[in-house]
Chain A
Amino acid sequence: MSIWLLLLIPLIATTTITLITRRHKDLSSYISIGAVVLCFIISIKPILYFLRNPHAEPLEQSFTWLNIPGLYVEIGTLLDPLSVLMLFIVTFVGSLIHIYSRGYMHGDPGYSRFFACLSLFIFAMLGIVLANNFIQMFIFWELVGLASYLLIGYYFEKPSAADAAKKAFLVNRVGDFGFILGIFVIFYATGTFNFLAIEKQIEAGNVGDWTLLLAALLIFCGVVGKSAQFPLHVWLPDAMEGPTPVSALIHAATMVAAGVYLLARTAFLYHAAPPEAAMVVAYIGGFTALLAATIALAQSDIKRVIAYSTLASLGYMVMAMGVGGVSAGMLYLTTHAFFKALLFLAAGSVIHALHTNDIWKMGGLYRKMKITGSTFGIGALAMIGVFPFSGFFAKDEILVATLASGNYVLFIGGIITAFLIAIFMSKLVFVTFFGEERYEGHPHESPPVMTVPLIILAFFAAVSGFVALPGLEPNFSTYIDGHVEGGEGGHFVAILSTLVVLAGILVAWLIYQRGFVRAEVIANHCHPLYRVLENRFYIDDFYDRVIVERIYNGIGRAFNFTEIHIIIGFFVNGSAFITREIGKALRLLTTGRLQEYALLMVGGVVILLFFFIFG
């Protein structure tokens, strides 16, 4: 029963705030925070249960929603180590972000609306995590899309924010279209939506290879949309238009993680499908990571840099899923939830103090904002993956899994990505918090309601990687997979990646801290390349100019022509024209002279008589 409360509480919170306490800002925020903290407390019990018995059978509860011949749809919950882990991440990081928002959003006119949307978001996300079947997951998947639309477009009076919200929503629709087709393919092949039942059917070999391949690729479309993989990654950087806590919630702990979670949930599908499916997943992930890391080098908006680092992280996770490292991907997801939420919230703290996003208008902030600066530094080190911070373990597991699967191209791509991440993350730290002071005004440290969540997140960002230590029982991979993943060359990978990221940090230090080579000089020297990076490989422009302007507008014009000339012009106005002309002709008969009417009547009678008698 208590599991259903996890869905009910945030739903009740969002409806209460929307309908009743909208005008009481403080009360609304307390309801929302209380709801998510309560969810966290409720989810502690299943977390402890599965930590004690990692090999326990999944707990499933469900009731019938639709039962007609040939179609059985249920609403249910599925608790297993995977969903419980996600439950912990979503409610725990979600709670901290809620609390932080109380400080960050202070004095905003839409305070209550903001918290109502946050609760709606938590409701939708928990629905995805707990879903035991595809239909329910898809419903909540779309609800997450809606909630993210509302949150990204929170400052809807700003055209750029409204556009970003629309973009996120529409780009996600493209992926979701593939996702629902994939669900139908699976239903067609197995006759059920239930994850465990599908898994049994597939393991029994009841589904053909081609069907599996098709289903796997179509479902991956949903992941590409939600987890912002190439070529649908364009919505994520724009989504930075939302308030910073929203970025932390959507782009660290929850929404983008949903896609990776879906891959982990349907890992049996990719396992059983022909290897091409998993290869597509792995290469899309690896390519996204490399692409995002290169673009991030040339960005100067603090949130955008973190956004592109998120894309790189998501690429890593998807790549891990593709090469079969489910536990490696989930470990990265877990640690990423902590350090990326931390980075966003710390960046929010800086923005809160300076009211600008441009890192070239910051600098030397560490002296003024010690807590923010040091927590941001920890987050950056975790993101870069320096031992012993959490990101090191996660990245290491992914690279080991990639190497073990024999995809050397992906492995090299992953190493290069790690190098680039090290450069731009340390650049962010050096430019923002050290060096000369380029800001205006008098920045000061944020209030405790914001710094305390930062400190808690920093703690987890630093140490959460140790759950993957090989000696631990149960450690992370036995918890998720039930067995230890054999990692050949673990030491080699660890040493190589450490050397690479240290080199990256050194490069950034030489350029941005020491001024050994001026950044402008490099930019001028590689002018065309720099332009390409600055414009994000012109992918957004390509979508705008070709897809939207040519194809989409072309289709729009064709439909417009059909609408105006064929439907309105021919059918609607045409039938009106014919009726009017007939009326005009008939009007000539209506003279108003009584005796003419009588004559017509008699004439009619005579004709009828004629027919009756002679006909």
Chain B
Amino acid sequence: MITLYHYLVLSCILFAIGVAGVLLRRNILIVLMSLELVFNSVNISLAAFSHFLQSMAGKVFVVFTITVAAAEVAVGLAILVVIFRQKKTVYVEDLSEMRH
């Protein structure tokens, strides 16, 4: 029998993997993908709560999150393409213009 805790543990593991990817990977594409993992871990926990608590609110939130995440990825990837054309690199440590 799969209970709520199974879903939450899965969500936690995915979240941890996502955060680790954001913090540790050098390639900015991978960083973005890891961010998506974080999003989806949250979506899983929302959907699970919604199912087990018999409430529609969680499912509605999931749909919203997916929509916003799609838009965010579109913008993020567009910026990434421009940065790559300018700097010919995708490594995070080379992108420190904001400091100056």
Contact = CB atoms under 8 A, between A and B. Distances in A.
Interface residues of A, number: 9
A599 B92 CA distance: 14
A593 B23 contact: no
Contacts of B88: none
A590 interface: yes
B98 A602 contact: no
A593 B19 contact: no
Contact of A592 (B19, B24, B99): B99
A594 B92 contact: yes
A598 interface: yes
A388 B19 CA distance: 116
B96 A595 contact: no
A602 B20 CA distance: 10
A64 interface: no
B99 A598 contact: no
A595 B92 contact: yes
Nearest to A592: B99
Contact of A595 (B23, B98, B99, B100): B23
A565 B22 CA distance: 53
Nearest to B98: A592
B54 to A, nearest CB: 26
Interface in B48-96: 92-93, 95-96
Contacts of B96: 591-594
Contact of A598 (B22, B97, B100): B22
Nearest to B96: A592
Contact of A593 (B24, B31, B92): B92
Contacts of A602: 19, 23
Contacts of B19: 602
A7 to B, nearest CB: 69
Highest count of chain B CB atoms <10 Å: which of A590, A594, A599: A594
A599 B31 CA distance: 13
A598 B24 CA distance: 10
Contacts of A592: 96-100
A595 B31 CA distance: 9
Contacts of B99: 590-592
A598 B93 contact: no
Interface in A586-606: 590-595, 598-599, 602
Interface string B14-50: 0000010011100000010000000000000000000
Contacts of A599: 23
A591 to B, nearest CB: 7
Which secondary structure characterizes the binding site on chain A?
A: helix
Nearest to B95: A594
A594 B31 CA distance: 11
Contacts of A590: 99
Contacts of A595: 22-24, 31, 92-93
Interface in A545-598: 590-595, 598
Contacts of B92: 593-595
Contacts of B98: 592
Contacts of B97: 592
A593 B22 contact: no
A507 B92 CA distance: 110
Nearest to A591: B99
A615 to B, nearest CB: 21
A586 to B, nearest CB: 13
A541 B71 CA distance: 87
Contacts of A593: 92-93, 96
A602 B99 CA distance: 20
Nearest to B26: A595
A593 B24 CA distance: 12
A592 B99 CA distance: 5
Nearest to B92: A594
Nearest to B24: A595
Nearest to A605: B19
Nearest to A602: B19
A612 to B, nearest CB: 16
Nearest to B19: A602
A602 B23 CA distance: 9
Nearest to B22: A598
B39 to A, nearest CB: 15
Contacts of A591: 96, 99
A119 to B, nearest CB: 67
A397 to B, nearest CB: 92
Contacts of A598: 22-23
Nearest to A590: B99
B32 to A, nearest CB: 12
B73 to A, nearest CB: 17
A459 to B, nearest CB: 91
Contacts of B22: 595, 598
Interface string A37-60: 000000000000000000000000
A18 to B, nearest CB: 59
A591 B31 CA distance: 19
Nearest to B97: A592
Contacts of B93: 593, 595
B80 to A, nearest CB: 13
Nearest to B93: A593
Given A592-B99, A593-B93, A594-B31, 15 more contacts: A591-B99, A592-B96, A592-B97, A592-B98, A593-B92, A593-B96, A594-B95, A595-B22, A595-B23, A595-B24, A595-B92, A595-B93, A598-B23, A599-B23, A602-B23
9 contacts: A591-B96, A592-B98, A592-B99, A593-B92, A593-B93, A594-B92, A598-B23, A599-B23, A602-B19
Interface of A: 590-595, 598-599, 602
Interface of B: 19, 22-24, 31, 92-93, 95-100
Q: Rank and list the top 3 A-B pairs by shortest CB-CB distance, nearest first.
A: A592-B99, A592-B96, A594-B92
